[in-house]
Structure 1
Amino acid sequence: MLPFTPAQFLSVFVKYNNAIWPVQIVAYLLGAIAVALLFRKPQGDDRTIAAILAAMWLWTAIAYHALFFADINKAAYLFAALFVIQGSYLFYEGCYRGRLRFVVGSGPLAWLGIAFAAYAAILYPLIGMLTGHPYPAMPMFGVTPCPVTIFTFGMLLATMPPLSRWLLPIPFVWSLIGGSAAILLHVPQDWFLLVSGLIATPLIAFRSQPSRQPQPAR
């Protein structure tokens, strides 16, 4: 059982979306920049994409979880801490260390990642509206946990190995938490969150395994 009702859950989004407007537009612009940079490779683009992902996780941690969702669920403070850790590690790996390399040409997984990103930004809100969750009573791209997680899975699918596996546990855990809650709360646009974690996590982890060089015969 959840400690809140579906009506209370949707009311959080109404308050949140009204309070942060027009940050939603900024989030869409940043998401579009991140995807566009996959197809064009100016200097520093990998760090820019990583910074956008990190900003989405950190914003969602503080603005959504800690300041709004905690009003109906005190576990939100724990979720906020996890999102801060994920955002900080994305910044560390991608911006400080420069160890995230994003490119569409990395193979079919990258195009699967583009599909995930398109779902998070376009199909996600459309499904919400078609199933009775119009704006502002809906999670929005780039500023709420579930679209941010799906978008992050998509962008990580478009990375070149090696990739730190420590970037995967928190998004995967949230895909289980958020996806399961979506079923109970009747939020069908979030059902794909559960699927995205189950698909993307093993694909990224397996691809990111260090290659083993054959040992010379003695």
Structure 2
Amino acid sequence: MKVKILTGGPDDCIPNEIYDYKSDNWCGVDIGASKLIEHDINPLLSIGDFDSSTARELELVRLKSKKTIYKPLKDDITDTELALRYLITNYEIDQIELYGATGGRLDQLLANIFFILKPCYQNYVEKIQIIDKWNKIKFFLPGSHQLEKDNDMKYLAFVPLTQVKELELPDEKYTLNKTNFMAPVSLSSNEFIGKNASFSFRNGVVMVIQSKD
């Protein structure tokens, strides 16, 4: 199952076209659930503490969602992670697209990136993608990988999130021989030469970003 998650990030960072996919499996997180319902999408799941929602909005969420989980007490995880953990525990998930996870508060952005390093997501690292109007973010485990250029994106970045060994970029605009990274770093502003690019590394987690201005 492929699930799209809409969180409560700023509207101006969310691609407008996502609301055209009304029949897809959607999960609304907090105020994200109300945004989906405003666009005539009935979420598969709505979840969160809904501290950004009015009583009327929460009532509509409960009415329009197939399942609503209202958790007013704060956990040691964000509402977005609460949604992710429920989905991977209760559904057969093949792919997750996360919208509304960037822009606005920097602490929330970092939380929405670094969660991928937790052991409970080990089996889902390469199944989760974060998307906004300017970026498409994927995560990769060790091995050899092939990338396909998104037609709307110009730039390509490789971001070791952990200690990474022998990262190699053989066919990008700026190549890299097998190089070790002991701490997180952003290898930004690279580009595809053609429609595809490859890379490989030995251990850790690498985030790959396709982006545009």
TM range (shorter): under 0.3
When you count strand as a share of all residues, which structure comes out higher?
2
**Structure with the bigger percentage of helix:** 1
Give the TM-score normalised by structure 1: 0.25
- Normalization by structure 2: what TM-score? 0.25
* Greater relative contact order, per chain length (Cα 8 Å cut-off, separation 6+): 1
